[in-house]
Structure 1
Amino acid sequence: MLPPAQRLPQARELIEMDRYFVLHAPRQSGKTTALRTLASELTAESDIAALMFSCERAKSAGDDYAAAEEILLKSLRQATEWAGWPDELLPPHPWLRAPAGTRFGSALTEWCHRCPRRVVLFLDEIDALQGNSLVSILSQLRDGHNARPGGQPFPTSVVLCGLRDLRDYKVASGGDPGRSNPAGPFNIIRKSLRLGDFTADQIAELYGQHTQATGQEFAKDAVDRVFELTQGQPWLVNAIADETISEMRLTGTIGAGQVEDAKERLIRQRATHLDTLAARLREPRVERVIEPIMAGTWPDTDTSFDDDVSYAHDLGLIRGTRDLEIANPIYREVLLRVLGHRTERFVKTDPHSFVLPDGRFDLPRLLREFVVFWREHGEVLIRQEGYHEAACQIILMAFLHRLANGGGYLDREYAAGTKRLDVLVRWPYTSPEGERLMQREAMELKVWRAGEHDPTPDGLAQLDRYLDRLTLSTGVLVIFDRRPEAPPWKERGGFEQVTTPSDRDVTVLRV
């Protein structure tokens, strides 16, 4: 693991300043591990008794704030026992009795009155608290914080750790989300801390620890590929390494090819982290953000859209809150695969029939087969697809995945406002001389919507730039016609050969 001080450079400084603040990050980003280590270091090095405990068990209490208080105090006491602290640092036993709605704050006051050290609390999984229980706990923390100047003992620093950003806790504790008010515990800093993803150097450092311990190396191209695929998402970084070592049981130096194989295995297995992420796609507020990204359109914004964007960002689905992009290439692939699962069940063609005698992939035949598939199933599948604006892209991606992914790879690029989805099919094969080669086929997907001009000229220019970046001389432009005046379904699927502005030969498919 990476040292917590390296990932949370501001946390110790804020604690030393007796601040109350929020630390948030998507699930499985390393928050719990970092805080547990930081708490141990603070307790061992200073006059602080720093404790991390989880609020997760209090989720069952729902709005019953009395039950939530009881569960939290039990969790807190258990955490102190597991920490192995001396008796003088332990909280009172039993806890002080107090009316429901005040018991948690009263217990903290009594503990801080007895403890010879400054008490610092890390409330992990604070998002588990719901409704009135969350409001009650936050209100008691706010009241205790505000009473400290009058001499009331209370934790000198409290860190709320979860998925949510600062704004949500300000609202829940009765504060104004847009103002910074030093009197309120969740208004002390205008911006909460976000545990960031790993940098490329941090991935190299993390994998280097494995090399030091075992002698097994990750080649530089492997580390670079891991960063490219994950963009430093901590769970993915660790999962790819674990897949190569523990599941694939590779013993020599691990290269980029093995990283690619590990990525494919993780996606096929739908590991818990990826499955949990994918389950969010059907939430209405997530769909409002992800659908225009997949469709390449600009979303219809209203006053609540920014909140939905922040929510998707806090979940780790998107990279930032300004440029709407999926967080990393693995998530880009997983999301399209999940949404295209229904379509894949309709694809009955044998994937092996698309392999040519020389081992290459027969893309022209695949496109012809897609026309047949589209005429037969396209109208029904579009009606069934919840992501209606992105339905065409999802269906073609599912078709490609079903037929090309048995021996090759699909790389997808899409983002809000681009009005396209770029696809690269990579197909490994062996030359007659025994040389390992990689066939690459580039495609661009465009949608012709009602009231718009024919997107072909823009599509050819965009495909030209994509081919230039890939150093390819040919490509495919697919135009989905979703206008009311589009030809009947049984007549769709015309091919034509055209040239791009840079005189590249391109196949245009209109469906």
Structure 2
Amino acid sequence: MPKHFNTTGPVIPSEHYCIDPMQRMDWTEIHSLIADKKFFVLHAPRQTGKTSTLLAMMDTLNQSGEYTALYINVEAAQAARNDVALGMKTILGTLADGAYYRLQDDRLNQWLEEIWQKHGATGALKAILNRWAQASALPIVLMIDEVDALVGDTLISLLRQLREGYIGRPGVPFVQSVILCGVRDVRDYRIHTSHHEIITGGSAFNVKAKSLVMGSFSRAEVETLYAQHTAETGQVFSPEIFPELWEDTHGQPWLVNALGHELIWEDKTARDRSTPITLERYRVARERLIQSRATHLEQLADKLKEARVRSVIEPILKGADSDQSLNPDAVEYVRDLGLIERASNGAIRISNRIYQEVIPRELSWGSQMAITQSQAWYLTPQRRVDMPKLLNAFQQFFREHAESWLERFDYKEAGPQLLLQAFLQRIINGGGRINREYGLGRKRTDLYIEWPVDEQQGFHGEVQRIVLELKLLHKGLAATLTEGLEQTAGYADQCGAQEMYLIIFDRNPNTPWDAKIWQRQESWQERDIGVWGM
């Protein structure tokens, strides 16, 4: 069976192109923590390779002959929520089954009923681990995956029983080391009890020695992964792809694999392995992946509804001046989710270019579907996008509907930018591409539109390139205009665009619409720039 790019579940090296999971972590540090009998946390965003890494660690430890290592996934207990008895029975069953199937050790199944009768929901996990440690010829390393999927009192009970077992050593036998794994660090657990109390994970599990973060692929690892396909099949990737692939993913493992799958399989013509993968094939695959609203991207979008996430993402979308007003805990939480990263200059930005595309699309999805605009109205007889006509139409639409439509957005502060992007997406989607750049400290949102003039040739023929600079009115119109014109011209130079437009949103509720709505032509260093006020 030929190998393929894996987008679901743990990596199986015999079936999937993969980077050795053991190379992705500092194994010396992990082995030292285990040898020192520490309890610690390994966390990373979803579909980063955590499970594959834990399984590889389990196999390595068991093969060493030093330890008995067991991996379990407790996500099934999420449904129990605050029902501790149901939750702990589920976890104990998972533990016993894991020992039986992975280690061929049936003793835990044999002990379960007796231990449950004696210790009940709030003590059975600790008790069974006590007994297992006492009976085991080797020290036990327990890896618990998806811990942060648990809810309420069930999670509290799990954390506290592990803590009690840790504190009781060395007088009472217990496991050598516990590794908790999930999307978030234990400090970020906000546990709502059945009595409406809020308990943080840090207080319920204050024996954590360290929190390790699993990173994304390096650029070299991304290229190594794709080279495995070339070595296996002979199919060649154009070198031009890799700078784009890096900017689009920044090594996020699911995105890297999903794009690989789109390139070599979803593009049916590329199933003929003699077909080279060109840069234009890559760009089409990228857009297809974004439009697919795949599960990974849907889960990411779902996180945008959380208040803590919104408090960080919204200022980025509207191009706020700085990150000084952001809550540091919220920033770390959103960073743990994989949505943001810090650039080399310290600025906070969306983690990669695909997330930059997905986030505004998802936030404005309902608006896109509700906007009744036809692409044909905005095309010239030469099949070019008539941007002045399109912006005039949006200007009128914005004047008539801004109040009611902006109320629909959860991200109201970024509402004008999102509404314009929804309008553009409705028109451009299905023919052209919109690329976005934004971030804290930018004080603007950059949009770059590529439109193929010849429908038959597509992006292989003539391409109309347009940039739009979106700014909020600040420091008065003259200063905003001067700054905006320079930024617009600079972005056009960067993109190689011949058409450029500056849109200035006035959010002052006291300014009448007749004063907000205007348009003019400006020049900057001999370049003509259309300016629209809204």
TM-score (norm 1): 0.89
Amino acid at match of 2:425: H
Amino acid at match of 2:428: A
**Partner Cα separation in structure 2 for residue 432 and residue 329 of structure 1:** 28
Q: In structure 1, what is the equivalent of residue 72 of structure 2?
A: 53
Aligned partner of residue 8 in structure 1, secondary structure: coil
**Partner Cα separation in structure 2 for residue 134 and residue 120 of structure 1:** 20
Matches within 5 A, 1:2-401: 2-9=19-26, 10-83=29-102, 85-87=103-105, 91=108, 93-95=110-112, 96-97=114-115, 98-100=118-120, 101-150=122-171, 152-168=172-188, 172=200, 175=203, 185-186=207-208, 188-189=209-210, 192-249=211-268, 250=270, 251=272, 252-298=275-321, 305-320=327-342, 323-401=347-425
Aligned partner of residue 494 in structure 2, secondary structure: helix
Q: Following TM superposition, by how much is the alpha carbon of 1:431 offset from its aligned partner in structure 2, in angstroms?
A: 11
Contact 2:347 2:441 in 1 (8 A): no
TM-superposition CA deviations, 1:210-256 (whole Å, max 9, x none)? 22222223222223322211111111111111122232222322222
Contact 1:448 1:454 in 2 (8 A): no
Q: In structure 1, what is the equivalent of residue 450 of structure 2?
A: 426
Deviates more, 1:469-478 or 1:419-428: 469-478
Deviates more, 1:54-63 or 1:372-381: 372-381
Contact 1:443 1:478 in 2 (8 A): yes
Change (3 A) 1:431 1:36: closer
**Partner Cα separation in structure 2 for residue 219 and residue 205 of structure 1:** 14
Contact 2:312 2:330 in 1 (8 A): yes
**Partner Cα separation in structure 1 for residue 505 and residue 411 of structure 2:** 15
Q: Following TM superposition, by how much is the alpha carbon of 1:33 offset from its aligned partner in structure 2, in angstroms?
A: 1.5
**Partner Cα separation in structure 2 for residue 480 and residue 436 of structure 1:** 35
Q: In structure 1, what is the equivalent of residue 15 of structure 2?
A: none
**Partner Cα separation in structure 2 for residue 336 and residue 168 of structure 1:** 26
Give aligned-pair identity as a percent: 37
Q: Following TM superposition, by how much is the alpha carbon of 1:470 offset from its aligned partner in structure 2, in angstroms?
A: 2.7
TM-superposition CA deviations, 1:59-83 (whole Å, max 9, x none)? 1222233332221111012122322
Aligned partner of residue 384 in structure 1, secondary structure: coil
TM-superposition CA deviations, 1:381-426 (whole Å, max 9, x none)? 1233221111110011111111112211111011123221011111
**Partner Cα separation in structure 2 for residue 74 and residue 176 of structure 1:** 23
Q: In structure 2, what is the equivalent of residue 181 of structure 1?
A: none
**Partner Cα separation in structure 2 for residue 75 and residue 138 of structure 1:** 16
Change (3 A) 1:320 1:140: farther
Change (3 A) 1:173 1:325: closer
**Partner Cα separation in structure 1 for residue 215 and residue 430 of structure 2:** 35
Amino acid at match of 1:143: E
Contact 2:147 2:180 in 1 (8 A): yes
**Partner Cα separation in structure 1 for residue 432 and residue 340 of structure 2:** 26
Aligned residues: 496
Amino acid at match of 2:176: T
**Partner Cα separation in structure 1 for residue 184 and residue 455 of structure 2:** 53
Amino acid at match of 2:165: G
Change (3 A) 1:344 1:333: same
Change (3 A) 1:259 1:403: same
Q: In structure 2, what is the equivalent of residue 461 of structure 1?
A: 486
Q: Following TM superposition, by how much is the alpha carbon of 1:282 offset from its aligned partner in structure 2, in angstroms?
A: 2.0
**Partner Cα separation in structure 1 for residue 499 and residue 280 of structure 2:** 25
Amino acid at match of 2:307: P
TM-superposition CA deviations, 1:430-451 (whole Å, max 9, x none)? 4999972332111100112698
Matches within 5 A, 1:498-509: 498-500=522-524, 502-509=525-532
Amino acid at match of 2:405: L
Q: Following TM superposition, by how much is the alpha carbon of 1:93 offset from its aligned partner in structure 2, in angstroms?
A: 1.7
Q: Following TM superposition, by how much is the alpha carbon of 1:268 offset from its aligned partner in structure 2, in angstroms?
A: 1.7
Deviates more, 1:267-276 or 1:430-439: 430-439
**Partner Cα separation in structure 1 for residue 352 and residue 456 of structure 2:** 37
Contact 1:19 1:157 in 2 (8 A): yes
Aligned partner of residue 416 in structure 1, secondary structure: coil
Amino acid at match of 2:119: P
**Partner Cα separation in structure 2 for residue 353 and residue 295 of structure 1:** 29
TM-superposition CA deviations, 1:276-323 (whole Å, max 9, x none)? 211222222221111111111257967x92222222222222124963
Amino acid at match of 1:507: G
**Partner Cα separation in structure 1 for residue 202 and residue 360 of structure 2:** 39
Change (3 A) 1:43 1:375: same
Contact 1:474 1:504 in 2 (8 A): no
**Partner Cα separation in structure 1 for residue 202 and residue 226 of structure 2:** 45
Q: Following TM superposition, by how much is the alpha carbon of 1:174 offset from its aligned partner in structure 2, in angstroms?
A: 5.8
Question: Where do 4+ consecutive residues of structure 1 move more than 6 Å?
Answer: 299-302, 431-435, 450-453
**Partner Cα separation in structure 1 for residue 202 and residue 352 of structure 2:** 36
Change (3 A) 1:299 1:107: farther
Amino acid at match of 1:2: I
TM-score (norm 2): 0.86
